[in-house]
Structure 1
């Protein structure tokens, strides 16, 4: 029986130097012959690599990276959106998983090509045969003991000559590799939006905490002033109690805002790989840049570049190759087969005989009946292709709607920012007027408190509108497949500036 022990196999070959040398020579001849027959498909392995457009560029001078596993140390210096993006490309586990996934899918191309290349296999077995032979002789049966070693070694090459199924498999492998690159582009765009969302959520949480704290300090000063007026019989206890009640609520809001800020900082940390102690906040100047191109129709025409659309298109191409592969099982196949074998005492009829055989031939297989499998398989492939085409159409419609929504968010966001900026200015003037009127008894203390709340809400909504405006810009770029490092750099240079300490100011 053939031995499955690799050490045993090597010892057996070494014990037969002539067989070993002959087998190795035959193997080299067979491989050379096989490769020469398919010069159009190089046999060397190709390492899967990330497309150049997805490769990471070097970090700008002065920007430090964070080593994996060093999550307990804060990132030195100020982290703006541009730097956070580059850190996320190096440390975000979801993005790193996408890189590995994309590299794995690139092997599909090589796997598909391999079925067109020669298939070479070799075998060797050695067995010990013992027993008794009985044979008639002059009316009697003579028996004799048998004990001998039987060995057999062979090497075989099979090269497809006419095999449409294997060619369809090759096309499917190439299509899957292209689909892998398209899926990676989707993951890259998603990483950019996740990073921008986390960064802007952190800025919004910080401004919320800052405004809540400023409101609390203002209410605390106001409560002290009202208590002093009450002690001098110039105010009422109602005013004091109203202010103290509002102060208690404000202090609770500060605690809640602080919790949201900590959560937002942790979410950003998960993307950049380490705690962030200082970030770049929004600048005082907030220019509203025009959209380029300005027409919605021009943006809709660029929807074909959307990563989801391209991924769905590649999925349809894979389905096309799968349809061809399923249909190819109806066709005959033709293979070139070459083998070389060497046997010693292979059986009783060849006892004590050695044989060397070399066979070259053409093998033709003609499918006749498979129990209905091929028919069902072709139907399945066509239905899958139809499903993927419908999903592609749905993706196109969804992307068109997304582009329209983000375009209107940018255009409407600019108008909303102007309106909220005017609301902040008006609320500040209203508060100043209410505070003066309260001193003369023209308005109540409750009116002043309500005006303060309106000012806080206006400031908070203004910050939120600005961040939503920036995020809409980035989501619009992502919707047309153009969210790249340049967008992160531009926002950092134009809209971000003052450093915000997330540790020192909160204490």
Structure 2
């Protein structure tokens, strides 16, 4: 086979491998997009919003009159009322009736108009609740993403610590096998290697936990290694440029939770107007178009005259002469189904007025309950503002503390790194003992872990503050 074909094949395979790796990389923006598409809680709130849209549409359609068509078909036997003649009969019959009814509200204390406003505010509140859930989901995904980066860096540091200790163990083991050096140094470094191994196990477990948390938010399986760092300036920690009051004022203007609660207050105010409409009279128009059918309904036609004896007699010339009479003869004919529906058609048009006089204090209690609901919504908004101010203050203090810790740990990490470098050289040249080396190494590793933790904690607190600002 031509070697050029083999080389081309390797190049193509390499390109496909790189392409597949590039496609599998997931950034923070990708995580947020996946979460908004798949997260079950967010989808549930979306369905609630659609339900509110339907309720608002239904409230608006309450302005239209109601039109209903009724149709019945049945069979009766025994004593019943003939729907055609309204006479009592005792026979089997088939009956049917149909009716078209229209009802229209003219005035009911503006109840329908206020119900429309009420459902409109509820729709606005539902939309803001959906936006609030979206903001919370984005924040939670972002924080979990940052925790994942932190856990992954902690695992990398734990592996580096293990590798460094393992290299020292190999160097000391050579002297130990040849009978040189202090045997205690060999066992001490083996013990340190076991400690470092436990550190890797703990770091891997924490990373798996955070990765599963991210999978739950995204509602889809992702590989931890596919998540890439989207923060280009992660190692550049700058002081936060906003105060607590700045963040709080921005939160009041931008967070969807406050808009949702304000719309709930507006809906509660309108609910009071709806409840007060039960004090007012109801005026409406109604109309009906009815007809019916009976299987025994008949029409009769004159078929001629018939002379019949009455059973009476008159005496004429001392002779009994029977009394005769003329009797008209009729022939019955069943009336057809469609003919009866046309012949029995009747219509009704009227005006209805319903004036509430006493209804068991129903209207009064409805108004009282709606006033309580308004007060609850107002208190809820005030409480949310108060809790938010506290949360922002706590987050701001944690952010400042993390900023200070970061710089303190940075100075500490630089100092312990130099100390470790010196002790490593002294230990490898036999000038210092294993205790000093391990202590110096642990100090450097711990300071690096603390520095890394403070960096991600600062970033996490900043992202929370940016969320409060509505970004």
Same fold (TM over 0.5): yes
* CA shift in 2, pair 1:149/1:346, >3 Å: closer
Give the equivalent residue in structure 1 for 2:52.
105
* CA shift in 2, pair 1:249/1:144, >3 Å: closer
Alpha-carbon separation, structure 1, partners of 2:22 and 2:48: 28
Contact 1:323 1:378 in 2 (8 A): yes
Q: What's the CA shift string for 1:166-213, capped at 9, x where partnerless?
A: 333222211211111011011001110121122112111211111111
Following superposition of structure 1 onto structure 2, how do residues 273-422 of structure 1 map, counting pairs within 5 Å? 273-276=220-223, 277-281=225-229, 286-289=235-238, 291=240, 294-304=242-252, 305-345=254-294, 354-422=343-411
Gaps of 5+ in 1: 1-72, 135-142, 484-507
Q: What's the CA shift string for 1:70-128, capped at 9, x where partnerless?
A: xxx99933211122222222222222223222222222211222322222211111222
Contact 2:176 2:183 in 1 (8 A): yes
The structure with more radius of gyration: 2
Structure 2 residue 415 is matched with structure 1 residue 466: no
Shift of residue 257 of structure 1?
1.6
Alpha-carbon separation, structure 1, partners of 2:145 and 2:89: 90
TM-score normalised by structure 1 residue count: 0.71
Give the equivalent residue in structure 2 for 1:186.
132
Q: What's the CA shift string for 1:406-440, capped at 9, x where partnerless?
A: 34444444443333222221121111122234456
Following superposition of structure 1 onto structure 2, how do residues 47-66 of structure 1 map, counting pairs within 5 Å? none
Alpha-carbon separation, structure 2, partners of 1:75 and 1:116: 58
Contact 2:76 2:92 in 1 (8 A): yes
Shift of residue 289 of structure 1?
4.9
Of 141, 152, 159, the match for 2:97: 152
Contact 1:407 1:476 in 2 (8 A): yes
Give the equivalent residue in structure 2 for 1:62.
none
* CA shift in 2, pair 1:459/1:284, >3 Å: farther
Gaps of 5+ in 2: 1-19, 82-87, 298-333
Shift of residue 443 of structure 1?
4.8
Shift of residue 151 of structure 1?
1.9
Structure 2 residue 122 is matched with structure 1 residue 176: yes
Following superposition of structure 1 onto structure 2, how do residues 130-169 of structure 1 map, counting pairs within 5 Å? 130-132=77-79, 145-163=90-108, 164-169=110-115
Contact 1:74 1:274 in 2 (8 A): no
* CA shift in 2, pair 1:157/1:290, >3 Å: farther
* CA shift in 2, pair 1:337/1:144, >3 Å: closer
Contact 1:152 1:346 in 2 (8 A): no
TM-score normalised by structure 2 residue count: 0.76
CA RMSD of aligned residues (A): 3.0
* CA shift in 2, pair 1:225/1:161, >3 Å: same
* CA shift in 2, pair 1:284/1:430, >3 Å: farther
Shift of residue 345 of structure 1?
4.6
